[in-house]
Structure 1
């Protein structure tokens, strides 16, 4: 992964040299020499990274290079801090009182010269191992620099499944015939065969959903805990089950399921000790056709769990036709699954044949080739695949290894991020993207918004089928994800080889925070760059004081995510220590209790780019120094119920791209930020507004949003609003015409805003209206002079008074693909999901006519 480390460092170095801080300028010659050497090496580092797996000497050389790059990055960060301190004391007599730090300058100069000498020697060594052909590659530097992909957003439907219809029908037929006792069904086979996919198709089937009153999906995995399994079962039933012992947990489960027909999926079971399952199953109600589906790689597991041979299903590998069909859907997704280049079909079928009908292998290779468009690239992949298969008989791991090798450098770091999370952990896209931005994994070119580039990196991994989508919004935006257990095996192996992450915590630069962590895992590790909460859904980290005290010792920490954590020590005391981490770029305190205020010490975090304090219900005020964080790109204060307003001067944060939970100050709140300041935030992409009082919008401030040309996503929430005058102000608060997505929550008016029409919002693609008093749409909503919406997705939720006819909507929204309508009893003739409405439009809900 050295090529990834070099890429990140060069990006940071180039940006820093442009800033021209005094201290950085003093070492400009050494930094530029370092830059030149690394740029020359970039072309062959990818090959060297691959070959080091077979050559231990080369592996050691590359490890030394990686450590030198990290040391150079630390020096660069220290120089930036020194430059900033110089700027503070550059006027008048202060410059004489605080002269330049001569010791720092001498030591830094020596370290940089020594690093440059070592890197020059390493370059020669690597070239000698790679052979004479490497000198020919050095003239092709531009060709070696990976650019952002052609398809930065999802280009195919991740839910598409090929060749498993007979498998799901067989399992469903068994479920329909269940009677007394508990029916146990086993799905068994090698990794990557599609066992979990089959179980998911059955679990999510509409007929199965209607048949079973309770359904529970439990990921068991290798490192399972019997008590945690029972807690997971209760969470799926809506019970947090905090503090109960095993007996009480099982009693609760029994109560919830008593008299109900239920379905439990135990996914990815490894344990050959069947006693844990015997104890759980004995406490479950019997009869009513209740069933359990178990997926595993081991037949012995099913035997231990008392699954009869007649109810063990062993999926077949995909036949050649279905293998090619699945491959086409992914590798040629940009052209709708059609192979438009005949020269690629023959070599594509040769590659697919090597996958031996395993869906995971086919998807990984297809996702990789989605980003390769030339015959010679496909031929090279086929040759490399042949070599990988020669070294490893497993037909899944070679395809995954090849997919990793072919990742652009910036995506390798992003991909290895998954190594920190426990098995079967569901991860939020937001945490990943913020981490990648904070640590500089995301390439920033041509002034592109970092949040947009980060989301593109995420899409680059999902399109390559290395990351699985778990949860999406109505319009297809991905919220959470996970990785296949076979993919995780590769991630863990590569992360340990590259010192990205180690279970022991020693010597690595990234680590996950959880309740079970040992203080020794953080001890004396000054290399750490990222510490993140990696707790599973529904769980909370309980952090001891001995561990929390170690956080502030990680001098070069860039990323600190403490979300969903409870601390033994005072949170205020902990945050005061965090103020010493001046290299910090990403800080998340989301759902960290009890956060009441941010201490003065955090004013030192001038490098902060992302600050997340969402779901801090006790947070009452944000400090004025927040407006000095000039590098801030993301500020999330959403769902902070006690927060009355944000500090005055927020408009100075000209780099802000995401602002969520913005609560404008009222006329009497003189220290607060008025909505008019939003006019200055010209780079804003996402904005979440919370409006409650009429005087939060002055008469001269109604145009605050209209000129925000970069704004694509806007949410306006009027939860707990007061007074009828707010509706008149909202009616004049025009969003920018370039808006892509709009969400109106708890809208207080009976009539929709006049600006909600296809002419004013001619670029709008998605509209979500939920809760509130809305009863009718303004006549402008339905257009005039044959104007029509470009809306593709419409969501209407919990609008008990809204009256609207489907025919009218259909006329004015010809591009509509998705309709989700729920708890809207007065909608007339809206299509119902069961009808299978032509054109992909669907609706779900209750009490429709």
Structure 2
């Protein structure tokens, strides 16, 4: 990790020095010297990273460097906070030399001189452990840092190869005659594809039609009987938080009684305390129901009632199947005729080292997908893979370690963030990206915003098969993700070795906020940078007030994520002291309880970049000081049902890239933000509007959205709206030409607005229309012979009155690849289920018919 820690800090330092900011004017010489030494060292840090795993002396030296860099980063942040604190209302800096300032200057200057002395010593010590060739060889950048392929979701990492015979066999067991509850087992080592095989069966259309109820439960190593039952009920549409095991089991029984069901228990490690016996006895029998168990232990499968004749043992992929999977990933989007013929030879050698294990092939293939397709690069990777296998005979772990070693510096820190999440945790993508931004792991590139850069990093990890998608929107955007248990095993090991979560003196740098957190880890902990809610499967987290009261004592905290948590007392009181956390950049209060007011202390958090207040249903108003948080990049107040409007002055937040849940104030609310203020938010990329009344927007404001030249994604929701005046004004709106995605929810009227047409929205790629009373699409919607839609994806949902012909849509949207239609019973001519057309795949869900 030393390469990543130094690179991230050095980029921050260089940026600060280039801006010639007054915040470090007193220490410029020392910071310039630090930059010089670190730049000299940077060239061989990647090699030191690889070697430190087997050289304990080198590991000790680099660990000391990591600690120094973290301390230097804190000093840089203190200088920035001090500078902001000395600004007057005009933005000018007021230099005052009080005894406190003189003491700060003297103490900090001395610290920096000592740091530079230690950095020089570490550089000399480090080079003594490396060969001269490595020291002379300066790696200026990661080999794939300039590659454009790595951030593009060109291939699907979940591609399946060689499982058709296996899935047919398992489906045969599912469909065989007999009403008794039969168990099927899939047994094998980690990385062999047990879960992938089961998923393919579970999602098969014939299996969907066979069973009335289907439940997928990830059991994992650390589970409770209650968790399993609650997850079963969640699959059945019942989110039960209370009740004991007996009551939960009764609910499950009544939901399943008289129905055929399929229960998948994935990744079973233990039958301790007899949980399966009790659950099995409480399940209704008959109706041809089935249970599928995946486990690494054949004994466990048999103890769960799996007969030998229904035991499937996945085999390793053949050479041909291995190469097929590897090439699908590595050569995605590349014309093979343009490749060096020698690549196949090296590629086959690399695939051979994976031992036919799908996870190993995906990990290496995903990593190489992000590398230049050159013989020299592939040869280097093949040699490193051979060396890794000498240290670790497990080809899956060796391939994962190699994939980590080859990550660009900025991705390593982001990857290690996963080490604090519990097993099988479903993780929100936005939570990760906001965390990465707040800790400085993400920097805005030319032509790319902070959020877009974070998205690119996320896709970089996805494309390397280090994380996998769980939930996606119809556009293909990932909402949530998770990590394979063997990848998690690696990331936990690395997090410990690289001192990512814990410093050398056992102070925590990053902590998971759970019900069982030890409050002593928060007390007087100056090292803590991130406290993140990691509630498994987004279950509500009950946090003791004694824990919450220690938040304000972690003076270097950058990330405070309390989402999905219940506290014993009001958060307003618990967070009253967080104003002292001058380095805090991200605060997440999503769905916290009891939360009815944003604490006044937030006003002092001048470095805040992200505030997430979504699903805080009891908040009635935001404080007016929000306008003073000029560094805000994300403000999320979506699904705050009691919030009447956003306060006046939001137009001053010129750095905003994402604004969700914006509701303009009615004319009678003089302290509220009017629609016109949006025109100042020129960096806005994503906007979610909530408009319910006609007086929330005036006639003179109908073209305001045209001012937002960077807006890509727009949602307009009219939930609980009424009045003809609103419908008339919405029909006169002007939308930006460059819009890429548009979502209309609860839109009033029987006809779509006239502006929803390919002439006025020529660049629109994805369109979603849901929950409305539209009976027809306006005549202008269909375009003309010179203008047609460029849409790639269309979703129509919960439009019970909509009547249109499939041929008209087909003619006006020739590029359509994704069609998602549900709860639209009158669209009778639309294609149903896997009907191919121009390379696209249409799926119509038969709900409400």
TM-score where L is the length of structure 2: 0.97
What's the CA shift for 1:536?
Answer: 1.5
What's the CA shift for 1:502?
Answer: 5.6
- Partners of 2:336 and 2:296 in 1: CA distance: 31
- Quote the residue 1:416 is aligned against: 416
- Quote the residue 1:599 is aligned against: 599
* 1:618–1:641 contact (8 Å) kept in structure 2: yes
- Quote the residue 2:68 is aligned against: 68
Alignment of 1:318-337 (within 5 A): 318-335=317-334
* 1:272–1:301 contact (8 Å) kept in structure 2: yes
Q: Give the 3-state SS of the residue equivalent to 2:190 in structure 1.
A: coil
- Quote the residue 2:733 is aligned against: 733
Q: Relative to 1, partners in 2 of residues 1:147 and 1:76: Cα closer, same or farther, differing over 3 Å?
A: farther
Q: Give the 3-state SS of the residue equivalent to 1:335 in structure 2.
A: coil
- Quote the residue 1:789 is aligned against: 789
- Partners of 2:654 and 2:41 in 1: CA distance: 36
* 2:569–2:594 contact (8 Å) kept in structure 1: no
- Quote the residue 1:28 is aligned against: 28
Alignment of 1:603-614 (within 5 A): 603-614=603-614
Q: Relative to 1, partners in 2 of residues 1:559 and 1:681: Cα closer, same or farther, differing over 3 Å?
A: same
Q: Give the 3-state SS of the residue equivalent to 2:621 in structure 1.
A: coil
Alignment of 1:601-680 (within 5 A): 601-680=601-680
- Quote the residue 1:185 is aligned against: 184
Could you give the per-residue CA deviations for residues 569-591 of structure 1, whole angstroms, max 9, x where no partner exists? 33111121222211100001010
Alignment of 1:530-545 (within 5 A): 530-545=530-545
Q: Relative to 1, partners in 2 of residues 1:359 and 1:188: Cα closer, same or farther, differing over 3 Å?
A: same
* 1:329–1:336 contact (8 Å) kept in structure 2: no
- Partners of 1:148 and 1:34 in 2: CA distance: 30
What's the CA shift for 1:16?
Answer: 2.7
Flag structure 1 segments of 5+ consecutive residues without an equivalent: none
What's the CA shift for 1:507?
Answer: 2.4
Q: Give the 3-state SS of the residue equivalent to 2:333 in structure 1.
A: helix
Could you give the per-residue CA deviations for residues 529-552 of structure 1, whole angstroms, max 9, x where no partner exists? 111100022511111122111111
Alignment of 1:339-738 (within 5 A): 340-373=339-372, 374-446=374-446, 448-501=448-501, 506-738=506-738
- Quote the residue 2:213 is aligned against: 214
Could you give the per-residue CA deviations for residues 378-411 of structure 1, whole angstroms, max 9, x where no partner exists? 0000000111111111111000000000000110
Q: Relative to 1, partners in 2 of residues 1:178 and 1:562: Cα closer, same or farther, differing over 3 Å?
A: farther
- Partners of 2:503 and 2:221 in 1: CA distance: 15
- Partners of 2:19 and 2:93 in 1: CA distance: 25
What's the CA shift for 1:251?
Answer: 1.6
Alignment of 1:305-316 (within 5 A): 305-316=304-315
What's the CA shift for 1:802?
Answer: 1.7
- Quote the residue 1:223 is aligned against: 222
- Quote the residue 1:15 is aligned against: 15
Q: Relative to 1, partners in 2 of residues 1:752 and 1:200: Cα closer, same or farther, differing over 3 Å?
A: same
Q: Give the 3-state SS of the residue equivalent to 1:732 in structure 2.
A: coil
Q: Relative to 1, partners in 2 of residues 1:23 and 1:372: Cα closer, same or farther, differing over 3 Å?
A: closer
Q: Could you tell which deviates more after superposition, 170-179 or 551-560?
A: 170-179
What's the CA shift for 1:262?
Answer: 1.1
- Partners of 1:428 and 1:728 in 2: CA distance: 38
- Partners of 1:720 and 1:338 in 2: CA distance: 58
Could you give the per-residue CA deviations for residues 486-535 of structure 1, whole angstroms, max 9, x where no partner exists? 10110000001112126999423111111122213333432111111000
- Partners of 1:89 and 1:31 in 2: CA distance: 29
Q: Give the 3-state SS of the residue equivalent to 2:704 in structure 1.
A: coil
Is 2:57 the counterpart of 1:52?
Answer: no
- Quote the residue 1:759 is aligned against: 759
- Partners of 2:148 and 2:94 in 1: CA distance: 50
Flag structure 2 segments of 5+ consecutive residues without an equivalent: none
- Quote the residue 2:773 is aligned against: 773
Q: Give the 3-state SS of the residue equivalent to 2:549 in structure 1.
A: helix
* 2:183–2:292 contact (8 Å) kept in structure 1: yes
What's the CA shift for 1:686?
Answer: 0.3
* 2:686–2:714 contact (8 Å) kept in structure 1: yes
Q: Relative to 1, partners in 2 of residues 1:330 and 1:705: Cα closer, same or farther, differing over 3 Å?
A: same
Q: Could you tell which deviates more after superposition, 228-237 or 647-656?
A: 228-237
Q: Relative to 1, partners in 2 of residues 1:534 and 1:659: Cα closer, same or farther, differing over 3 Å?
A: same
- Partners of 1:662 and 1:172 in 2: CA distance: 49
* 1:552–1:581 contact (8 Å) kept in structure 2: yes
* 1:327–1:352 contact (8 Å) kept in structure 2: yes
Q: Give the 3-state SS of the residue equivalent to 2:661 in structure 1.
A: strand
Number of residue pairs matched? 848
Q: Relative to 1, partners in 2 of residues 1:610 and 1:94: Cα closer, same or farther, differing over 3 Å?
A: closer
Q: Could you tell which deviates more after superposition, 254-263 or 400-409?
A: 254-263
- Quote the residue 2:259 is aligned against: 260
Is 2:241 the counterpart of 1:205?
Answer: no
- Partners of 1:518 and 1:92 in 2: CA distance: 43
- Quote the residue 2:233 is aligned against: 234
Q: Could you tell which deviates more after superposition, 302-311 or 530-539?
A: 302-311
- Partners of 1:35 and 1:178 in 2: CA distance: 73
* 1:506–1:522 contact (8 Å) kept in structure 2: no
